[in-house]
Structure 1
């Protein structure tokens, strides 16, 4: 049933995160099965998480102020050195405002009006606004985020995933991703997300030296207390935000079902169960090109890649989907502890009230979107064949 084992043993924080994720996932499923409505919640745990995050950022601000003060006062040169050190430390801990990717094809409204019109229609259904930019890459995944200090919205779509979905499943995918903008997922917000990143950086700075000599052992001992404090804060923030993150995933699934139908949302989960097969097929295409075995002269090796991928996915028997569903139930949170297990998410969809798709498409719209994506499809196909996934 499950011949492959996880690559590595998770650490203490990850093991605790998985246990909590399992408990939260099962509890949320029970709530949905009992007829309760999933919705974002602002509770004491969320407030406590924000307060802790603000305290973490307060330390960074204090380091910045201290750096400026020491540099200005000087203290005969010693203050300059200490100020520069504190300044560098504060810089590594600063909040990040991500920018647009510079190595992926980007689409704006003028480039793809039909695609953005579909995104806007789905966004209205899930109760949010559309995005400002769409990025296309080689991943078998999709995500949303913000970029820049003004918080503009970016939707990233992996062409390999887009190509193996039906038009209605693509609508459900958009509903899921856009739903994250309105579902209370605080873990990836600027305040808590950056606080988690700062704490992780602190932990990296004071991690114990393995196989230490006498001096290094003393330093490890000195940092034992602050290291325990930082580890405790990380675990506490995990504990306070994990339930909201789990709820956000279930809510995003419900948004997918509302936009594209329950059947389409459930079909996406089935696709993710066999995503490793798509990865293997695409990597095989890249390997074949690199060893020079395609030997064709009438066309480029990347041509027809997406059609071959679609045919490969259609050839996967139902028995493999069933095996993967059982493996997902056995492994639980062994892949990604911030997401509920796939089998629980699938059950959560099935116990909900069946609703028709709020957004549909037709051949004319699909044709216009395909035309707008034609150049990114060619570029991403070339990258996959030349460099493999992630290239």
Structure 2
């Protein structure tokens, strides 16, 4: 199918959408006229009005959105030809190779992606300004050969006039998706629109998949089969690796109020350190991808098979790193960091300090959890390591151990208490500046002494839980220069940091106040509704998407699970429960028959949470 035919098909299907709306409007008008002739006017208006509102409101709003939609370029660092002459030379040579005009602007973007766009006019019939986007993570991971294949693929979209159809497809999706979203699920007028939307997306996705195969053929011609296959595989692998990198090395610090001074700089180091793991991912990449008729790209195995069926192209065997094509890459990475990363009040540190500060705060957080639980057992507002050792000297190891190990005898709990105690001793060693963090891209950061050796404090903890050998443990800590008083709690009350929303209920009564209740994996957030009893699920979704959970917990009532002592469920549906806290106070929860659930399984999720405190 030629580009012109695809353009015509996109336009015709978009016109067909509005023709469908006019047909439905005429049908609704005829229905209203007939109804007015056989029923009272009030009844006719009441029955026909929802149809008019659904059709006129939904489609009219969608048309307005489509008209107003702007095809803005993706944000990124613009590289002028004199700033990256080698990269621009490759782009221009490849553009000539596929028989198309080179892009007018090249931008480095933060995503694991490469893309092109063209701000064409008159429904894509008149060429416009062209943009080429290259993801920095791809540049960090790929060889020059592989990057040539990626660039040839993207420029192949230009040669097929694929990008000139982008405005038509983009506006079509906005119009149809907007209309469908505005019409209720049970509104009869919406059913034809939903069917048409599925047909439109089915046709649009099929055309997009064909375009991808055509662009792959351009990559083979200019970079060879091996580079084309390797590039496709690498995109899949880098996507997985980058998600892992952000989740493992960046996100924990961000949750604790920290950020590295260049988020992208560390990714290259991780790629180099985990090459063996990445090689394994490359071998399995094609096996893990399953396709769907709704996908805009064919599955990886289909693309690889299509590439292998093509005649061999012109491989260049250039194994240099793709980053060699951009001089002053650190400066480009730093500019992209400033553009793409929202600091939002976080402390920005160089990578070594960022890693150390992150691990220190995580250790302090784990110790704070232990300190708070021990304080509850000792019936004190807060304790430090010194008070914990005093309690152990008094023979209370079993009592303290039961707070963490409730499925063993008190004698066994006393022995097991050495495990949480070791965490407190590690904190004391760190705060006494006897240990420091050694970071690793292949494993977890570890605490080491001045000689770079890991210090095993487990034997000291095992001595400390027994009153008879506690003096030996104290002597060993003194010998190591570890000050017991250095380990103290920082957060005396639990926060929602690190929590995720797992369920929610709109319009419940929580501790006597009408509220929306967010169920986290580490506590409950009750948000007073101020008498608003409608659209509870939408209200919760909007709030969670707009405000970080830690802020919500600070602004509203947060009840962490660690404060739960017992939960008594008096009614299963709707849920009626009494939550008894460690301090002896109780909180009553009453779910409403007319309330909303955040998702259909919310009630089951909350029952599972409460089961941890009911003995079920």
Root-mean-square deviation (Å): 4.1
2:69 matched to which residue of 1? 96
1:4-36 Cα offsets, whole Å, 9 max, x none, are xxxxxxxxxxxxxxxxxxxxxxxxxxxxxxxxx
Asked whether the equivalents of residues 256 and 265 of structure 1 are also in contact (C-alpha less than 8 Å), the reply is yes
Residue 238 of structure 1 deviates from its aligned partner by 2.9
1:198-244 Cα offsets, whole Å, 9 max, x none, are 11111111133xxxxxxxxxxx4xx413x122223222323433332
Residue 109 of structure 1 deviates from its aligned partner by 3.8
1:217 matched to which residue of 2? none
Alpha-carbon separation, structure 1, partners of 2:210 and 2:320: 35
Classify the secondary structure of the residue corresponding to 1:94: helix
Residue 268 of structure 1 deviates from its aligned partner by 1.3
Q: TM-score, normalised by structure 2?
A: 0.43
Q: Which 5+ residue runs of structure 2 have no aligned equivalent?
A: 22-52, 122-126, 347-616
Alpha-carbon separation, structure 2, partners of 1:381 and 1:317: 25
Residue 267 of structure 1 deviates from its aligned partner by 0.5
1:140-196 Cα offsets, whole Å, 9 max, x none, are 111111247573111121101111000111111101111112335489522233122
Alpha-carbon separation, structure 1, partners of 2:108 and 2:17: 34
Greater relative contact order (Cα < 8 A, sep 6+): 1
Alpha-carbon separation, structure 2, partners of 1:115 and 1:278: 23
* Structure with greater strand percent: 2
Change (3 A) 1:370 1:186: closer
Asked whether the equivalents of residues 140 and 161 of structure 1 are also in contact (C-alpha less than 8 Å), the reply is yes
Alpha-carbon separation, structure 2, partners of 1:302 and 1:239: 38
2:251 matched to which residue of 1? 287
Residue 375 of structure 1 deviates from its aligned partner by 2.3
Asked which structure has the greater CA Rg, the reply is 2
1:157 matched to which residue of 2? 134
Classify the secondary structure of the residue corresponding to 2:158: coil
Residue 309 of structure 1 deviates from its aligned partner by 3.1
Classify the secondary structure of the residue corresponding to 1:140: coil
Change (3 A) 1:120 1:41: same
* Structure with greater helix percent: 1
Matched, 1:307 2:265: no
Q: Which 5+ residue runs of structure 1 have no aligned equivalent?
A: 1-38, 61-81, 209-219
Q: TM-score, normalised by structure 1?
A: 0.65
Alpha-carbon separation, structure 1, partners of 2:274 and 2:234: 9
Determine which of 314, 332, 354 is the counterpart of 1:376: 332
Residue 135 of structure 1 deviates from its aligned partner by 2.1
2:360 matched to which residue of 1? none
| Number of aligned residue pairs | 305
Matched, 1:349 2:307: yes
1:135 matched to which residue of 2? 107
Determine which of 315, 326, 342 is the counterpart of 2:287: 326
Classify the secondary structure of the residue corresponding to 2:227: helix
1:174 matched to which residue of 2? 151
Q: Residues 183-332 of structure 1: matches in 2 within 5 Å? A: 183=160, 185=162, 189-208=166-185, 220=186, 223-225=187-189, 227-275=190-238, 276-287=240-251, 289-290=253-254, 304-312=265-273, 314-316=275-277, 318-328=279-289, 331-332=290-291
Change (3 A) 1:351 1:87: closer
